[in-house]
Amino acid sequence: MSPVNRPPLKKRAAVLLAVTTVAAALASPVTAAAPGAPAPAPAPLKWSNCATSRYPTLQCASLKVPLDHDRPDGRQISLALTRVPHTAARSQGPLLVNPGGPGGSGRTLAGYIASALPKDVAGQYDVIGFDPRGVGKSEPVLDCGAGHFTPVRPDSVPLDEATERANLERVKAFAESCQTKHADVLPYIGTVSAARDLEVLRGALRADKLSYFGYSYGTYLGAVYAKLHPDRVHRLVLDSVVDPAGVWYEDNLAQDQAFDARHKSFLAWVARYDSTYHLGTDPAAVEARWYEMRSALRTTPAGAKVGPAELEDTFMPGGYFNGYWPHLAAAFSSYSVDNDPKPLVAAYEKFGAVEPSAGNSYSVYTAVQCRDSAWPKDWNTWRADMWRTHAKAPFMTWNNAWYNAPCAFWPTEPLQAPDVTNTDLPQALLFQATEDAATPYEGAVSMRRKLAGSALVVEQGGGNHGIALSGNKCLDEKLASYLLTGKAADATCPAQPAPKPLPATRAVPPSAGGAALHGLLGFRG
């Protein structure tokens, strides 16, 4: 998905065995708790100080886990961990936190979560952040090659054969590079392997049970862990929930339509502030001007950096967090009204440009999604589905398609996506905004049905992705209560107010907590 981000293909010879093994493991928690030969107890963790000015009690450690959990005595890899220790006399144990992706680093998130929760709640938990296998400071690190997102890319919408061919060559080259660089580890980069890592981590923490708080893709990782080890779950919080029935190809098609609707909400907001942006008072007219800007950039990219694909990259973060809308609207207005492309280039560099380190997160994103479940291998299927969806949702359908398209050519075979239906868990708590684009609302409803007894807290009218601990007091109170007591009920909270144009809010930016959280969660994850 654009965040949620994608499926894998793996080693040909072992396909049937791999699918059978994983499916059987996920059908039986007892079997899944100890697949293959019994693993030796992990060594206790050695924590060292790695405090920052923002998170003065942060500690770091590393954990060895098997590359292949069915061969626990074989090659070991390492996971990078962080911890904010509990301060209360009585601890409720570890609370693992994950920002999503796949491919997102969770080490800093531990400090954020511990500081954002009420002190009496955070003090009862050891808040544990981690870089999943292949990510960040974990080893080995996946990086399939620099330059995949170097501007100016071919137009994402393939209006002619040459443009489609250029995009296909890009994604095929990326898949081939991953195989060349990481053939030894690609079969073991996936959600099930990552979930089994969490069980090793629980053992290393010497905890009978663990709690888990995941955003975005992290909701799926948490649900898979809970399926494997329901008796090891103390609390389970899932925020901005992946639809487990659609991983990952179908989820991306649903995401395309949701992002288009969210983009229209942004354009309607721009029209509401015509006195600031001068782009018109009619949302449809503002939308037409946005697509006129896109067409102009096809001919003359702004600053030799921002073509149509980069424009989509720049505005897509507005679908994750409306706190970015004033910045994006100002850049849009400067380009379309003032004929000044510099603010648009600056917005691209702030929101759309891929940092060199992001090659790692995208590599893991692709490896996980391409491995987790089957994707169409016939490009004709993709082409037909994308044009059909593009006709209804033109904003980012093709951009998202190319982001995920390496999975059509991935070198390792896909696994069978697990059924996360679970009747053996303690009560779980889900959070979801009704207008979330990255993980549409229907996914939370689907997950709630699968997790028996779970509670769903809905942010009515909200469209941000990642909503707990982002400034909504109603949501945060329900989270705190659940972490303290383990009890929750279905509820509805009002969304936070929409942002105002920048001149009115320079002194106090809208939802500072939301901006901090979304900086950690990132985009497409």
pLDDT of 25 higher than 60: no
Residue pLDDT, tens place only, 236-254: 999 999 999 999 999 999 9
Radius of gyration of the chain (CA): 22
Q: Of the residues 138, 436, 511, 518, which is catalytic? A: 436
Q: Is 436 a catalytic residue?
A: yes
HSE-CB at 55 with a 13 A cutoff on CA atoms is 22
Residue pLDDT, tens place only, 241-297: 999 999 999 999 999 999 999 999 999 999 999 999 999 999 999 999 999 999 999
Q: Which of 93-102, 143-152, 471-480 has the lowest mean pLDDT?
A: 143-152
- Phi, psi of 314, deg, nearest 5: -70, -40
Q: Is 193 a catalytic residue?
A: no
Q: Of the residues 193, 211, 216, 334, which is catalytic? A: 216
Residue 495: the pLDDT is 99
The pTM of this model reads 0.92
Q: Of the residues 69, 148, 229, 465, which is catalytic? A: 465
Q: Which residue has the higher pLDDT, 33 or 46?
A: 46
Residue 79 DSSP SS3: strand
Residue pLDDT, tens place only, 114-124: 999 999 999 99
As beta bridge partners, residue 98 has 214
Q: How many CB atoms lie within 10 A of CB 56?
A: 11
Q: Cα 502 vs. chain centroid, distance in angstroms?
A: 28
Class of domain 1-525: alpha beta
Residue 458 DSSP SS3: strand
Please give the average per-residue pLDDT across 339-344, as a whole number: 98
Q: Is 372 a catalytic residue?
A: no
Burial of 350 (0-12, 13-18, 19+ CB in 10 A): middle
Residue 238 has which token pair? Answer: 């899932």
Residue 24: the pLDDT is 40
**Helices 161-182 and 358-372, packing angle to 10 deg:** 90
Domain ranges of the chain: 1-525
Model confidence at 517, pLDDT cuts 50, 70, 90, reads confident
Cα 243 from Cα 219, distance rounded (Å): 9
